[in-house]
Structure 1
Amino acid sequence: MTDNKQAIKVAILDLYNGTANKAIGGFEKILEQYRLLKNVELAWEVFDVRKSNQLPDTSFDIYISSGGPGNPYSEAEEWDKNYFKLVDELFEHNASPEKPKKHVLFVCHSFQLMCRQYKLGEVSLRNISSFGVVKVDFVHGGNEDVMFKGLSDPFYAVDSRSWQVINPDIDAFKKMGASLLAIERDRGDDLPRGLMAIRFSDYFIATQFHPEVAPDIMQIRLLMDDNKRDVIAEYGEGGYRLMLDEVYDEGKLMHAYNTIIPNFLNEAINHARGI
């Protein structure tokens, strides 16, 4: 954590339940790179939500809620109840005249929790886990959303999930005022396409992919024997080699990594400063 009384305060909600991961460090690395590049004071704190039932209060300016393993049907668990108590409080703050507003980014497992909670689609276990660098298609003008400005259509992202959100409930989206921004690539065989990005409100946005995974980390993961085997089984040897090339392609994964979360931070920090 960095510490400065004048800093923009960021809460990182760790939903990995104590399992080893690179994601939390990935978020911290992006925050540090942003701090240096933009010469802005940022202070962040990590909260162990699932394992230790640690949650922040509503005094932070920005919230980033991570991915994580396991079943998103965790309503009976105490941390889940406290998690959505916080979400409700942030929604209420943003609906009030009080300023500045609180911006929240929900990633993967957090995306699934939100879709489960607000019944925006079918949350189910995939037949085969999805892992690798994948194409994501924008829908409904999603590429015009401030967080995705500058990306191509389709764009490339890191996917790593055993669960999925499919079959959007249009009525539930309308009731919430949410917008579907992106969906999973067409896999053929009439397979449902996963929801990949949703804007819940002006200040809450979510991705089912992982924008925090740096290209060098993804390359290491792709070279691991078990991941290599799984990718080749699904995409073939040629698909695996293409995926390795896409990791460092300036217009593909690298571009998404350098664009999505920095765009989110630009918007959130501008609001926090009253711009």
Structure 2
Amino acid sequence: MKVAILDMYDGVENEGMRCIRELLQDFAQAQDIPLRLNEFDVRGEGRVPDLSYDIYISSGGPGSPVDSAGSEWERKYFHWLQSITDWNAGPNARKKYIFLICHSFQLVCRQLELGTVCRRRSPAFGIFPVHETPQGHEEPVFNGLEDPFFILDSRNWQVIQPNEEKLAAMGARVLAIEKERPHVPLERATMAIRFSPYMVGTQFHPEADAEGMRKHLKVPAKRQRIVADHGREKYDSMLALLNEPDKILRTHDTLLPNFLLEALAHQRQYQYT
């Protein structure tokens, strides 16, 4: 299994890349297959992968998914995305699979004009339920998840007001939406989209692992920052939810592995060239 990780963190310290690496390594070991894994620093070095990979995972990252419009690294990123789209639309039997996480999801939604990408009134940070749409109930990557299922959310931006006309034109489907908050008069964000048979994205972090997140939250400097920014109640709530097996643990063990199984089943139909 040949996988490229597109690192969108721009050199900022994060847990996302560790989680993606470990999830891929665990998956390859469980499937008893060799793994070729390469990483590409998109925002810091302007590097993007070529067409030699089976699977591409584009990570989350900090900052605005709007202010980078017109930058050189973004131009390269969307050129890469178009090259994969063209490959999959062509006569090539062996398709290439893409998973977009958080910042990458927002960038692509903005580029394809699939919704309004805007700053949230306040940051989303914590473990929250998301709700499946009717299309989400039929989505293979959600197999094994409850409705709602729980996710790690950490973002200042959001995709709202999905453009139904453009979604329909490209055959895309909204799979999940933000938790319902009857007391808050704001539109619920779009949390997951199936862009094509070969590309899925989420506005949350399905790679987040409970044990790693627990260790991360207990680092004194991290604990102090979270308590200062979000309050002690939020911090204690996150630690408690990390201990529940049907929350983050289930999402981590289900969603991205389902995507990888889907991609692997397709790749196994063909021999490497």
Same fold, judged at TM 0.5 (above): yes
- Whether contact under 8 Å (2:3, 2:36) holds in the other structure is yes
1:21 aligns with 2:14: yes
Spell out structure 1 runs of 4+ moving beyond 4 A: none
CA deviation vs aligned residue, 1:98-117 (integer Å, no higher than 9, x gap): 02100000000000001100
Give the one of 183, 187, 193 matched to 2:177: 183
Distance 1:153 1:231 in 2: 27
Query: Residue 199 of structure 1 corresponds to which residue in structure 2?
Result: 194
CA deviation vs aligned residue, 1:23-69 (integer Å, no higher than 9, x gap): 11111100111111111111110000000001110110000000001
1:35 aligns with 2:28: yes
Q: Which amino acid aligns with 1:192?
A: E
> TM-score, normalised on structure 1?
0.92
1:137 aligns with 2:127: no
1:83 Cα deviation after fit = 0.6
- Report how many residues are paired: 264
Give the one of 209, 212, 223 matched to 1:217: 212
- Whether contact under 8 Å (1:132, 1:231) holds in the other structure is no
**In structure 2, the residue corresponding to 1:228 is in which secondary structure?**
helix
Give the one of 259, 267, 273 matched to 1:272: 267
> TM-score, normalised on structure 2?
0.92
Give the one of 76, 91, 116 matched to 1:97: 91
1:111 aligns with 2:105: yes
Q: Which amino acid aligns with 1:262?
A: P
Q: Which amino acid aligns with 1:77?
A: S
Distance 1:189 1:210 in 2: 23
Distance 1:271 1:69 in 2: 33
Q: Which amino acid aligns with 2:50?
A: D
Q: Which amino acid aligns with 1:272?
A: Q
Distance 1:258 1:265 in 2: 11
Distance 2:89 2:213 in 1: 38
Give the one of 229, 233, 244 matched to 1:249: 244
**Taking every aligned residue pair, what percent have the same amino acid on both sides?**
42
**In structure 2, the residue corresponding to 1:200 is in which secondary structure?**
strand
Residues 221 and 131 (structure 1), Cα distance of their counterparts in 2 relative to 1, 3 Å cut:
farther
What does 1:50-89 align with in structure 2 at a 5 Å threshold?
50-73=43-66, 74-89=68-83
Query: Residue 158 of structure 2 corresponds to which residue in structure 1?
Result: 164
Structure 2 alignment gaps of length 5 or more: none
1:216 Cα deviation after fit = 1.9
Higher alpha-carbon deviation: 63-72 or 240-249: 240-249
1:228 aligns with 2:227: yes
Distance 2:238 2:266 in 1: 37
Distance 1:131 1:229 in 2: 13
CA deviation vs aligned residue, 1:134-192 (integer Å, no higher than 9, x gap): 11000123032111101000000000101111111111111221100001101232111
- Whether contact under 8 Å (1:132, 1:222) holds in the other structure is no
Distance 1:245 1:58 in 2: 43
- Whether contact under 8 Å (1:140, 1:181) holds in the other structure is yes
**In structure 1, the residue corresponding to 2:81 is in which secondary structure?**
helix
Give the superposed CA RMSD.
1.5
Distance 2:40 2:146 in 1: 34
Q: Which amino acid aligns with 1:96?
A: G
Higher alpha-carbon deviation: 141-150 or 82-91: 141-150
Distance 2:125 2:22 in 1: 22
Q: Which amino acid aligns with 1:190?
A: P
1:208 aligns with 2:203: yes
Give the one of 3, 10, 15 matched to 1:10: 3
1:222 Cα deviation after fit = 4.0
Distance 2:130 2:4 in 1: 28
Structure 1 alignment gaps of length 5 or more: 1-7
- Whether contact under 8 Å (2:226, 2:235) holds in the other structure is no
